[in-house]
Structure 1
Amino acid sequence: MEFILNPWPWYISGPLIAFVMAILLYFGKTFGMSSSLKTMCSALGANKISDFFKFNWKDQRWNLTIVLGAIIGGFIASQYLSNDIPTDLNPTTITELQQMGFENPGATLVPNEIFSLESLTSIKPIILLIIGGLLVGFGTRYASGCTSGHAITGLSSLQKQSLIAVIGFFIGGLIMTNFILPLIFKT
């Protein structure tokens, strides 16, 4: 018996996220991957190298469940909950991506031209990943949090800083998608 798994609809996943946020807010906790990674780095000894990581990480060790959950959840989702249905992209988007050199846009969630192991044999994807990682790290530090923290925790607790950060994330994403990526992948 074969069945196809589809993403959970918004009316199930949205209330589940709201429920988790309500529990976290009730206990005075916040959700965000960057704070979880900060806790992990401090626990692994980064506090000996940088003052940024000098805090009592044991008070924040519950954050490590977020990292562990992301790793386990990602594995379960990719191995057991994935389907082979391609992403439903707009035909114009498919044409534009093919013009940029992406062979099969929508066939995978992320493009193999950037994120496959084979792409690591080419210098261009490696440079993109390194620069992208540095920019994400800088942006996360500069905005005092990551996209998940600001968009989920910050907005749900009505923080002005999070609203400004989320607006910045969307503007940055639009600029990257519409202007910078076409320049990088111009064939």
Structure 2
Amino acid sequence: MNLLYNPWPWYVAGPLIALTMFILLYAGKKFGMSSNLTTMCSIGGAGKYSDYFKFDWKSQRWNLIVVVGAIIGGFIASQYMSDNTVKINPEVAQQLSNDYGIESAGEAYLPTELFASEQLTNPFVLVILILGGFLVGFGARYAGGCTSGHAISGLSNLQLPSLIAVIGFFIGGLVMIHLLFPLIFS
């Protein structure tokens, strides 16, 4: 049963991801989560207003099932298979607590200082969440896909734009954590 409750080692998970990508490549499919937003807009009738959404969304049903499975699987894992704590370096947890006032670091999966439902009444937290969500959505659209689509599917297909996007994701993450995060939360 530990197989279900603990993270799998890289030498098991990595080849399974590669096998999945080979199967998708053989089937002529591309993996990505953000592309489902386009599919859902097409289902909702956005094709009446923009040619971008005019396509056969039924050909993307399999990818919608992946999203539903990820949501259901995430719920089951978080509610029944995990204590929802993140095992992070104690020094990092201490720094987050001391420097940024994030006391729940290492105790909760998502810092309650930002993601607890009572925080939605805090205008600062609300602005951070809305702005962050907008930037992630804009970035995924501008890059032509999300991190999972580019890093897993795009790189496995040897696509240069995906390599450039993944490098940009890493640079953006480094800028956020080393420059912007201290400015926002200190």
Q: TM-score, normalised by structure 1?
A: 0.90
Structure 1 unpaired stretches of 5+: none
Structure 2 unpaired stretches of 5+: none
Which residue of the partner structure matches residue 89 of structure 1?
A: 89
Tell me which moved more, 168-177 or 75-84: 75-84
Task: Say if 2:78 and 2:84, in contact at 8 Å, map to a contact too.
Answer: no
Tell me which moved more, 145-154 or 126-135: 126-135
Task: Say if 1:37 and 1:67, in contact at 8 Å, map to a contact too.
Answer: no
Query: After TM superposition, what 4+ stretches of structure 1 lie above 6 angstroms from structure 2?
Result: none
Of structures 1 and 2, the one with the larger relative CO (CA 8 A, separation 6+) is: 1
Superposition map of 1:1-187 within 5 A:
5-83=5-83, 86-91=86-91, 93-98=92-97, 99-186=99-186
> What is the RMSD computed on CA atoms of the aligned residues?
2.0
CA shift, 1:13, in A, is 1.5
Tell me which moved more, 2-11 or 122-131: 2-11
SS at match of 1:83: coil
Q: TM-score, normalised by structure 2?
A: 0.91
SS at match of 1:144: coil
Q: Distance in 1 between matches of 2:14 and 2:30?
A: 17
Sequence identity percentage: 60
Q: Distance in 2 between matches of 1:116 and 1:167?
A: 32
CA shift, 1:32, in A, is 0.3
Task: Say if 1:6 and 1:83, in contact at 8 Å, map to a contact too.
Answer: no
Q: Distance in 2 between matches of 1:86 and 1:107?
A: 7
Q: Which has the higher helix share?
A: 2
Residue-pair matches, total: 184
CA shift, 1:96, in A, is 2.4
Kindly provide the amino acid, as one letter, of the partner of residue 5 in structure 1. Answer: Y
